[in-house]
Amino acid sequence: MLLWFFPPDHRPYGDPHNTVTNAIAGGLGLLALLAIARSTMIGVWMSDRELLVRSWFVTRRYPRSSLRARAVSYSGFWNRWSDSSFLWTLGFSSVGSRVWSARGTIAWHVTTKRQLQQIQEWVSGSHAEQ
């Protein structure tokens, strides 16, 4: 901040404050680029045998034959960990395991219901083939 008060030709050469400021700005820029790159990989993918759910930090795979999916009211940072009537997320589990809320699928209630219907149709298709 103090460097702004000096004309460019009067700044001391190799000022450590300028170096630290550049390092912080570069680090924040790198973090922003990494977040943008990771956001392109978040989502839900269906293959012949399994459902792949990729969130910010976790990737889970569910076998198609034992998958259970449902809509779950979002409860997290954005609404102070209380249930939301507008934001919903998809919840997944295999038979006999607890429901895991996929944070990368947060959407309006209508969108979540539509996505859930598509996944349930995909799952029921596997039962019809067996």
The answer as to whether 104 is a domain residue is: yes
User: Which of 24-33, 63-72, 98-107, 118-127 has maximum average pLDDT?
Assistant: 24-33
Q: Look at residue 49 and tell me whether its pLDDT is greater than 70.
A: yes
Integer CA distances (angstroms), 81 to 77, 78, 100, in order = 6, 8, 16
Range of the domain at 77: 43-129
* Residue type at position 65: S
Positive or negative torsion for Cα 120, 123, 129, 130: negative
* Residues near 115 by beta carbon (within 8 Å), at least 6 away in sequence: 44, 90, 105, 107
pTM above the 0.75 mark? no
- The tokens for 111 are 């969108």
> pLDDT grade, residue 7 (50/70/90)?
low
| Domains contained in the chain, number | 1
The answer as to whether 114 is a domain residue is: yes
Is residue 58 within 8 Å of 43, Cβ to Cβ? Answer: no
3 state DSSP class of 10:
helix
The answer as to whether 23 is a domain residue is: no
CATH code for position 66: 2.30.29
